[in-house]
Structures are given as C-alpha cells and as structure tokens.
C-alpha cells in the first residue's frame, strides 16, 4: 500500500504581486512598539457624538437588523440627496442616483470595476491614496501617472500634463479633493480646467471627496457636484466615517447619473450586496440636524491651527493645509535621510509617528516631506508637539 502524499497547498498567481504590508501598518506597529504618539494613520483618537451611537443602538433595539435594500435604505438616500442639493446645488434622485456603500474604499473599487475593462487607461494624480492603483490593477486597467507640482504654495495639479496623458484608451480620470496626503484642495479654476480636458470625450470622472466637510480659512469645497458638466460624467464618493468620526463603521456613499449608477449597482450587488442596516437608520436619523457636518471645518481648523502654531518654532517647514486633517511638512532643514528612514527615526527616537509622502508614489520619489494627522485630541497633539518642537 502506497503511503499517502503529504498535504500540499496549491500555488497561485497573485492578482496584486506588488502589494505588500502597507506603510500605515508598518508605522503603526513601530509606534506601538516604541510608545510613540501615532500621528501616522488617518483616524481620530476621540469618540463620536453619543447621540449617533444612541440612534444606531435604537435602530438595533427596534429590530432593524435584517437585510436593507441593496442600494441603501430610502431614508438615508433621501438625506444624502437633500444634503448635496443644499450644499452644492445639484439634485441627485435618491431612487436612481445614490447608493450607500461599505465605506469609500468599496465605493472607489466598485466604481472602477464597473467601468474599467482590461487595457483601459485610468489617469491618477500622484501622490495618490493607496487603494486607487490596486483597484485599477484588479480591473485589468492601466494606471497612467501624473505627478502634482510642489512649491512654496504647496501642491497643485499640472492640468497641461493631465491633458497630455489623455489617449484614445483613456477610460477615466481619478481626482481627490480635499487631497490625501497633501492637504491641498481643488478650486473652481481647477474644475474648469478639468472640464476643458474632458469636453467632447467619453472619459469618466471618479471624484473622491471624503474630506468634503474639512475645508479651511473660509474657502468652500469645490465639489464636482457644483459643476454640471463634470457631474454628468462623474462618480462622486464620500464617507460618513470621516464626517462623523466613525471610521470603523465603514459606511459611505456614491452618487452618479442614472446610466452610470445602474452599472455601479450591478457590481455593488455582487461585491458587498448591501451595508449594515442599523447604522444606515442611525445615520439617517442623525442627518436631520446638519450642524455636525456644517461645524466640522471649524472643529478641525482649530486642531490644525493648534498643530501649526506648535511647530512654528521648529525647523519643520509647514506646507499649506487647506483641507483634510493632514499636515505635510518639509524636514530638509532637520535631516537628509530619505523619507521612510526619517519617519522611522522620528518614531523611534523622537516618539512621534508620521507617514512618508514617498509612500504615495508608484515609483521612488524623495521630496523630504512627511505627513502628520491632526485628527487627535488636543492633549494628544500637545504631547506630540512637546516632542517635535525641539527639532
């Protein structure tokens, strides 16, 4: 009798061979090991409004725990439509144009999967949030990179280079404003330039606007929804997790014209189907009062200003932070180390974790810039500033 063969796990060809452990995981683990203040990953260290928790808990206790509609409960889609109309002057039909998603990342992936086919090109603007390119890769698309320019006034998009990157195979352009990681924002002139590039083409637009309520110094968020010509070809993505300090709930939404949303929902149905019911009901109830998102810019601007003032006497050069809850700094007057090595040194020796901006590029690029997150309690920020101020 032959001896049984040993158990063997089959090999497989990776769908994402270039993806390894993310810089966020690496820096957070190092911060925990060294007891550093973690200003790396972009999530708050404070609680959400207890009224929101009560609303979700109330929905659970009321028995709202079974599958909701695939597109999201009507009350939440109606609340989203009303908010977008009030803020940006564009009405999306809650029945046909809005889908509730399991976070913005799922919304981005689904938007890409529903419209990008093998060989299609997608223009992405670097530095770029880390989920965009793997999503394009999984769809069989080809990312085409355009790098932002950085100068004394911060980061900006070179629209002439974006236009030059357009080819007959371009299927979509991805934008992000307010922008992670740079803290820059697009202004009306930027949207006009983008509209000029897209006019007369069949190119789609994927607009990541998860930090829409975090724009500072009296400036307004220039949503694609404000620009009818762009809205007509766009998937617009936002995040309740970012807006309401509940990133772990993983809930967001996507808005798009009916023909685009119909294709989006086909993929959404089979990639996540729907999003947890009680959280949808709780957020729909909480959105009856617009104050929490209308006051968010002032809340975070105070934290930004506290953080910037605390670094004013250091050798860090502060780049503008017009939006998001991120502050980029040039450390070239402190060290000549590459960004990843400087972030490691800063975490290990100074006791404050940051993220190297080089991690947001497809190919190695060193600018001597790291990113801090100021979505933290004031005491957390002061503790970090006490350690950074001596540099």
Give me 182's structure tokens.
Answer: 């740079």
Where are any strands of DSSP class E within 148-231? 149-151, 154-156, 170-176, 204-208
pLDDT at 1: 62
3-state DSSP helix/strand/coil % of the chain, to nearest 5: 40, 15, 40
Nearest to 282 by CA among 5, 7, 49: 49
Q: What is the distance between the alpha carbons of residues 354 and 357, in angstroms, rounded to a whole number?
A: 9
- pLDDT of 125-149, one tens digit each? 999 999 999 999 999 999 999 999 9
Residue numbers of the chain with a pLDDT score lower than 70: 1
pTM for the model stands at 0.96
Element of type H or E holding 190:
helix 188-198
Query: Count of alpha carbons within 13 Å of 155, Cβ hemisphere only?
Result: 30
Domain ranges of the chain: 23-42+294-388, 51-288
108's CB contacts (< 8 A; 6+ apart) are: 131, 132, 135, 206, 208, 237
Helix (H) or strand (E) holding 306: helix 296-311
Overall fold of domain 23-42+294-388: 3.90.1150
pLDDT, tens digit (0-9, with 9 covering 90-100), for 10-25? 999 999 998 888 888 8
Pairing of strands 149-151, 326-330: unpaired
Regarding beta strands 234-239 and 326-330, do their DSSP bridges make them parallel or antiparallel, or are they unpaired? Answer: unpaired
Residue-wise DSSP of 60-118: HHTT--S---TT--HHHHHHHHHHHHHHHS-PPPTTTTEEEESHHHHHHHHHHHHH--T
* Among the listed residues 192, 148, 200, 190, the one whose alpha carbon sits nearest the alpha carbon of residue 170: 200
Whole-number CA gyration radius for the chain? 22
What CATH number is given for 51-288 in this structure? 3.40.640.10
């Amino acid at each position: 009798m032959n001896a049984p063969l040993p158990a063997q796990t089959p090999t497989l060809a990776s769908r994402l061979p270039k993806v390894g452990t993310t810089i966020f995981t690496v820096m957070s683990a190092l911060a925990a090991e060294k007891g550093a203040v973690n200003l790396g990953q972009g999530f708050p260290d404070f609680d959400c409004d207890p009224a929101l928790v009560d609303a979700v808990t109330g929905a659970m206790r009321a028995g709202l725990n079974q599958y909701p509609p695939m597109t999201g409960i009507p009350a939440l889609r109606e609340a989203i439509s009303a908010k977008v109309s009030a803020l940006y002057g564009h009405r999306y039909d809650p029945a046909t144009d809005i889908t509730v998603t399991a976070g913005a990342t799922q919304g981005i992936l689904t938007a890409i999967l529903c419209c990008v086919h093998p060989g299609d090109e997608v223009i992405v603007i670097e530095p770029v949030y880390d989920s965009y390119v793997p999503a394009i890769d999984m769809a069989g698309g080809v990312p085409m990179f355009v790098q932002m320019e950085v100068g004394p006034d911060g980061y900006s998009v070179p629209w002439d280079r974006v236009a030059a990157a357009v080819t007959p195979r371009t299927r979509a352009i991805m934008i992000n404003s307010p922008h992670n990681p740079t803290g820059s924002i697009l202004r009306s002139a930027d949207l006009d330039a983008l509209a000029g590039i897209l006019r007369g083409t069949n190119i789609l637009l994927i607009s990541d606007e998860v930090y829409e309520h975090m724009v500072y110094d009296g400036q307004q968020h220039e949503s694609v929804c404000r620009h009818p010509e762009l809205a007509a070809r766009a998937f617009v993505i936002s995040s309740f997790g970012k807006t309401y300090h509940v990133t772990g709930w993983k809930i967001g939404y996507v808005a798009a014209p009916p023909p685009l949303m119909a294709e989006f929902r086909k993929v959404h149905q089979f990639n996540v189907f729907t999003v947890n019911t009680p959280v949808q009901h709780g957020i729909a109830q909480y959105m009856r009062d617009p104050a929490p998102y209308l006051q968010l810019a002032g809340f975070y601007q105070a934290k930004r200003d506290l953080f910037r003032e605390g670094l004013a006497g250091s050798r860090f050069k502060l780049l503008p932070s017009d939006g998001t809850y991120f502050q980029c700094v040039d450390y070239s007057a402190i060290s000549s180390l590459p960004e990843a090595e400087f972030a490691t040194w800063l975490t290990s020796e100074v006791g404050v974790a940051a993220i190297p901006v080089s991690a947001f590029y497809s190919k190695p690029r060193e600018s001597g810039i790291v990113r801090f997150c100021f979505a933290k309690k004031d005491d957390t920020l002061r503790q970090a500033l006490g350690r950074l101020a001596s540099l």
